[in-house]
Structure 1
Amino acid sequence: MSKHLPDQPVQRGYTMSPGSHSRWVLSSYFSLTLCFLVLGQIKAEKKLKFVVMVFRHGDRSPTKTYPKDKYQEDSWPDGFGQLTELGMEQHFELGKYMRKRYSGFLNETYSRHELLSMPLKNCPRYNQLQIETYTSKEFSNLVEPYKDFINSLPNMTGYSPKEIQDAYRWWILYDALLCEQIHNYSLPVWATDDVLNKLSRLSDIGLATIFGVYKHHEKSRLQGGVLMGSIIKNISNAARNASSNLKLIMYSGHDTTIASLQMALNVSNGKIPPYAACHIFELYRGDQGEYTVEMYYRNDSSVDPYLVILPGCSSSCPLAKFTELSSSIIAEDWEKECGVGVNGNKSSGAVVALSIAVFFLSIAVFIMLILYRSYRKGSLNYETV
């Protein structure tokens, strides 16, 4: 049967069999359904309004290393913890990708009214929570399969048997070896692929225990939730103030910054975020005025960012729902929950009192200096009659 557009008549003399009629009905139904789907997609067109990015710094030298490492700080051109040329290239590549991704959304040139870089703050309550975590049954169960391996590390690394039980040492050890491997430094003979894989897994466990495993929700409210609260606030402000020139906020942080955020949202893949990894929040406005939020995670420069779905919502999550699902990890009184409390207030009061005292003392000294100069001037100008 030849096909005809809806407004074209069927050729004269053509008769349709019952089977052909059924196929025609099904074909018409399919075409009509497809038409509605296409029209629905057109109707549901959305427009990007605001972006929040949380990214990790690029490649760097080790922040520290293990005692027996032959590559100490003087072995690195700029010392420990410094961004390398490779790290700069990774930042440049990330910047190029973001420029391409948001072409037409951001200006072609930098505008301070459109971009804002913000620092992150830490919570002093972490020390107490980490002590509790490392003595918990949950942590012991995770580490138990690696006990023999951990106990074998002191002979190779120079750490004492007590020191090597600290998960932070596992991370230092793995980070140092990884940095040396990336920059083609020769590794010790004991640093086999099997050893590196086990250290990688222990580092992942160490990172997980900082933000989860034990008292996960409380940790989220103290760390990742703090950042999430700021992100929600900025996204909500952008939705309320559609005429704002602010289009992009960038948070530059560490692997722990991204990990704390993703673990608070329950979207972590359990791996340490690689150099220049980036978690993206995009706010869209539909043609009916509704706002939705989409999340993406870029941890591989060779592919497009992975879509991240907040548990309990869709890939394009309504802003109200996104805010509701995130609210439980956002502390209303962060300082109180963080353990700053009375001691913190006393310390703050002491600082304020000291500042006031110094202020008035400075004024007194200033006045005395003026009087002294006036006195000196009067003495020098004194004439005998």
Structure 2
Amino acid sequence: MPRQLQLRCFDAKRPEEDRLVIIWDWLMPLFWGPPPGERDFVRLSTIEEFVEKNLRFQKCKAVAGDTCSCGKKPNEVVSPGQSPNHYEHRVSKVHGPLYRHGDRAPLSSYPNDPYNDVARYWPRGYGQLSEIGEEQHYRLGSYLRQRYFDLLPLMYNYNDTHIRSTDVDRTLASALCNLAGLYPASNTSRVWPHVAFQAIPVHTETQDHDHLLKPADYCPKYLKVLSYVESSKEYQCVMNLTAQLQKEVAAFAGYSTYTSDIYDILFIEELYNLTLPSWVWSYYPNPLKSLYLFDGFITWGSTTELQRLSAGPMLKEIIENMQRKINGTLNPDRSLYVYSTHDDNVVNTLMALKVFNGILVPFASAVLTELRALNNSYYVTVSYKNSTETEPYLLQLPGCDSLCPLDQFVELTKEVIPDDLDTECAEEVTAGTEYLFQVPAAAILPEWEHCFQKPKSDDGLFHFLSVKTSSK
């Protein structure tokens, strides 16, 4: 039973199974909401039935090739619904979930868009979190409550959890909805009898000063390196192959100049069951989807230098928090640091860790970077939860096991960790510097493949390209 469980409504005169009922708020981490057929209270028989069907956790947990004392093999001791490779030993120390905001309205409309009546089609406004997005993040927060239940008290405390968001409405709103699931309201946390929530702060910085989650937006060196990548023969090859496509789509959409964001607008409109114009189907979903991914995401984090100046600051904070947790200098001594961000943050982070699969990031997806302790040693696991309906996928960084020793994780990521962001952003780019342009093979259309070198790795996960800066 959860700590501080409150019992209510004991009445010996009632039928035996109804003599004692329990406030269901305390059981939210188990049920993800009110149990079916129940309102304010839960019968003990309901709890017993739920536990019997859903919470048969093994007491013996095997990790990374070890065998438990009970004789079980590693993949035989997972909980129902878990991936066999999910490390379910409850000895986690500190976590850094990074997630994308939930479902939203399109960021804008295109000039000839039949659905540009904002009040009618997007009543909350362009770019705003939708009710679907609210639910997605409530469910994700409820999942995180289940995952970290043994580390986080049910009542929010400043010393346990810190939430950081970009200064954008949809990420701030997503963080609040996520917290409603992570810290479900209980009877003792209700200031007003009929208002069920815990008031939890979400921290942010204005975008032009957000050196943690949006550092590239103000970094001159990042913009310079990006311009070199965009002038490379590989990038220009793709642009030339799609030049006619871009011209035609721009004309249909009413743009003077093509923007790859047209894909996002069409995607959202289709998602909301709006009938797309007939011209769209010659270009959508592909090649517009692949061009949107290539031009708007992969290119932005395609080199180690770009990753260092975009995802690097956040990865640096996560690693430093892990190290401080271990040596006892983390103050406050928190267990959870949460980052509410965007799809480009997720892509840049996965690319920096060399585990991006070349697929657009769904709403409310999360990267879970977790410090774990085992036999007096410390390890890092990285998992990718790309659906609120499924368990996370445990990822394996190139050069390390899925359960990666912390020291090895630090070594593998050191090239994308900036020493001092302000200093590096102010640096001039040395003429002739060579950069490695990384493109996930899954993101490349067959007709684009001749623009790139063949993968150097046997798994075909990446195309490796060398791009030299201008000698100007």
Q: Same fold (TM over 0.5)?
A: yes
Match of 2:215 among 118, 122, 129: 122
1:1-385 correspondence to structure 2 within 5 Å: 37-39=67-69, 47-72=91-116, 73-74=118-119, 75-119=121-165, 120-123=213-216, 124=218, 125=220, 126-160=222-256, 163-164=257-258, 169-170=259-260, 172-192=261-281, 195-206=284-295, 207-212=297-302, 216-241=303-328, 245-287=333-375, 289-339=376-426
CA distance in 2 between partners of 1:39 and 1:304 (Å):
27
- Partner letter of residue 260 of structure 1? N
Q: Tell me, in whole angstroms, the C-alpha distance in 1 between the residues paired with 2:343 and 2:272.
A: 20
1:184 counterpart SS class:
coil
- Identify which range, 97-106 or 278-287, moves more after superposition: 97-106
Structure-2 separation of matches of 1:228 and 1:103: 24
Gaps of at least 5 residues in structure 2 are 1-65, 75-88, 166-212, 429-472
- Please give the per-residue CA displacement for 1:147-169, whole angstroms capped at 9, x wherever unaligned: 33223212211112xx21xxxx1
Higher helix proportion (structure 1 or 2): 1
1:260-296 residue CA offsets vs partner (Å, 9 max, x unmatched): 1111111111122111000001111113x11011110
Question: Are 1:295 and 1:308, in contact at CA under 8 Å, matched by a contact in 2?
Answer: yes
Moved more, 306-315 or 239-248: 239-248
2:285 maps to a residue whose letter is: L
CA deviation after TM superposition for structure 1 residue 144, in Å: 4.3
Over alpha carbons, which structure has the higher Rg?
1
Deviation at 1:69, TM superposition (A): 1.1
* Residues 129-156 of structure 1, C-alpha deviations (whole Å, 9 max, x = no match): 3332322212123344433322321221
Q: Output the CA distance in 1 between the equivalents of 2:374 and 2:71.
A: 11
* 76-85 or 61-70, larger mean C-alpha shift: 61-70
Q: Distance in 1 between matches of 2:352 and 2:162?
A: 24
Moved more, 224-233 or 147-156: 147-156
Question: Whole-Å Cα distance in 2 between the matches of residues 38 and 269 of structure 1?
Answer: 33
Q: Report SS of the residue matched to 1:192.
A: helix
Deviations 1:294-338 (A, max 9, x none): 110000223210011111111101111111111111111211221
Change in Cα spacing, 1:109 to 1:198, as seen in structure 2 (3 Å) is same
Contact 1:297 1:306 (8 Å CA) reproduced: yes
The one-letter code of the counterpart of 2:226 is: Q
Aligned-residue Cα RMSD (Å) equals 2.5
Distance 1:112 1:145, change over 3 A: same
Matched letter for residue 215 of structure 2: N
1:37/1:98 Cα in 2 relative to 1: closer, same or farther (>3 Å)? closer
State how far apart, in whole Å, the 2-side matches of 1:227 and 1:295 are. Answer: 14
Cα deviation digits, residues 27-51 of structure 1 (max 9, x gap): xxxxxxxxx9443989x97711111
Q: How far 1:340 sits from its partner (Å)?
A: 7.2
* Partner Cα distance (2:114, 2:354) in 1: 40
CA distance in 1, matches of 2:223, 2:409: 31
Paired with 1:284 and 1:200, the residues of 2 have a C-alpha distance of 38
TM-score (norm 2): 0.59
Q: In structure 2, how many angstroms separate the alpha carbons of the residues matched to 1:277 and 1:155? A: 34
* Aligned partner of residue 272 in structure 1, secondary structure: coil
Distance change in 2, residues 1:149/1:140 (3 Å): same
Partner SS for 1:321: helix
Quote how far apart the aligned CAs of 1:251 are.
0.6
**Count of aligned pairs:** 295
Closer, same or farther: CA 300–85 of 1 in aligned 2, 3 Å: same
Q: Contact 1:46 / 1:285 at 8 angstroms: preserved in 2?
A: no
2: distance between equivalents of 1:193 and 1:307?
A: 37
Compute the displacement of 1:127 (Å): 3.1
CA contact (8 A) 1:56 1:258 kept: yes
CA drift at 1:245: 4.1
Q: Is the 8 A contact 2:90 2:150 kept in 1?
A: no
Kept after mapping to 2: 8 A contact 1:57/1:276: yes
Contact kept, 8 Å, 1:46 with 1:286, in 2: the verdict is no
Whether the aligned pair in 1 keeps the contact of 2:346 and 2:367 (CA below 8 Å) is yes
Q: 1:69 and 1:130, CA in 2 relative to 1: closer, same or farther beyond 3 A? A: farther
Contact 2:96 2:368 in 1 (8 A): yes
Alpha-carbon distance in structure 2 between the residues aligned to 1:325 and 1:40:
35
**C-alpha contact 1:62 1:176 (8 A) present in aligned 2:** yes
Which whole-Å CA distance do the structure 1 matches of 2:342 and 2:67 have between them? 43
Q: Give me the whole-angstrom Cα distance separating, in 2, the residues matched to 1:199 and 1:301.
A: 26
Select the structure with the greater relative contact order (CA < 8 A; seq sep ≥ 6).
Answer: 1
Tell me, in whole angstroms, the C-alpha distance in 1 between the residues paired with 2:390 and 2:318: 26
Q: State the SS of the aligned residue for 1:197.
A: coil
Asked whether the 8 Å contact 2:382–2:396 carries over to 1, the reply is yes
